[in-house]
Amino acid sequence: MIITLDGPAGAGKSSTARALAARLGWWYMDTGAMYRVLALSALEDAVPLDDAARLARLAESLAIAFRDGRVFVGDRDVSAEIRTERVTAATRPVADAPPVREVMKRLQQRLAEGIDVVTEGRDQGSVVFPRAELKVFLTASPEERARRRHREEVSRGAATSLNTVLAAQNQRDEGDRVRPVGAMHAADDAVLVETDGLTSDEVVERLVQLVEERRRPRET
Ligand code: DC
């Protein structure tokens, strides 16, 4: 069974997807991490970030693997490196390239073949797994998302204000909306889950309920 979890940055997708997968004993696929790995490799190999064809070839050649909650390229653990500012900034143009998205889509479909997966990203329900058994679009108000991101950044030692975080987020949201490819929108048949005022445990609980509801008819 495949559960897709899409939504804007700051909606709590990653922690929710991770916790849900752990709870169900399923595999968790972090597709943002896959785009980040490609951006890291492009920077290291000096592949221009606007050369879509070379980026797509690079994507095809990468041995991306997830093990024990860590991200690897071959045997190298890149979990920390892919979260740096530099890689985050490079990921956007990389993820905007249509040929790259095609390669990633095939790779994601192959990785999820025949197993139970919680997959998380922007386009998982709408593009990559249109026939997923359960599609969730996780969202929260801009203020709530900015508050969470601000808390997270402060806990990492960053000196930033809530207003700065909110302004940057608004800009990213706008970028997401107007992207020619990979634009974020909920699949028509996605369940919208608004997380304002819910604890992460409550969100996971709600999703577990949804999974149970979807499974029941298949098992009777
Ligand atoms: O979720 P994240 O911050 O790790 O995502 C990193 C980047 O990759 C971000 O710019 C959005 C993009 N992305 C995408 O275009 N499609 C996905 N399925 C997942 C992430």
**CA R_g for the chain:** 17
Number of structural domains (the chain) is: 2
Q: Residue 154: helix, strand or coil by DSSP?
A: helix
Q: 17 alpha carbon to ligand 1 midpoint, in Å? A: 14
Please tell me if the CB atom of residue 36 comes closer than 6 angstroms to any atom of ligand 1.
yes
**Does the pLDDT at position 220 exceed 60?**
no
Domain with 97 in it: 30-115
Dump pLDDT digits (tens) for 144-167: 999 988 998 898 888 889 999 999
Cα separation, 76 vs 71, in Å, equals 8
The CATH number given to whatever domain includes residue 195 is 3.40.50.300
Please tell me if the CB atom of residue 121 comes closer than 6 angstroms to any atom of ligand 1.
yes
**What pLDDT is attached to residue 137?**
96
Is residue 126 domain-shared with residue 220, that is, in the same domain? yes
Is residue 66 domain-shared with residue 163, that is, in the same domain? no
Q: 115 alpha carbon to ligand 1 midpoint, in Å? A: 23
- pTM metric for this prediction: 0.90
Dump pLDDT digits (tens) for 33-92: 999 999 999 999 999 999 999 999 999 999 999 998 899 999 999 999 999 989 999 999
Is residue 161 domain-shared with residue 89, that is, in the same domain? no
Please tell me if the CB atom of residue 119 comes closer than 6 angstroms to any atom of ligand 1.
no
Tell me which amino acid residue 125 is. Answer: G
Closest CA to 82 of 64, 100, 98: 64
Is residue 45 domain-shared with residue 100, that is, in the same domain? yes
Is residue 21 domain-shared with residue 78, that is, in the same domain? no
DSSP category for residue 18: H
Please tell me if the CB atom of residue 122 comes closer than 6 angstroms to any atom of ligand 1.
yes
**What pLDDT is attached to residue 58?**
98
Is residue 100 domain-shared with residue 45, that is, in the same domain? yes
Angle at 36 between CA 119 and CA 70, to 5 degrees: 65
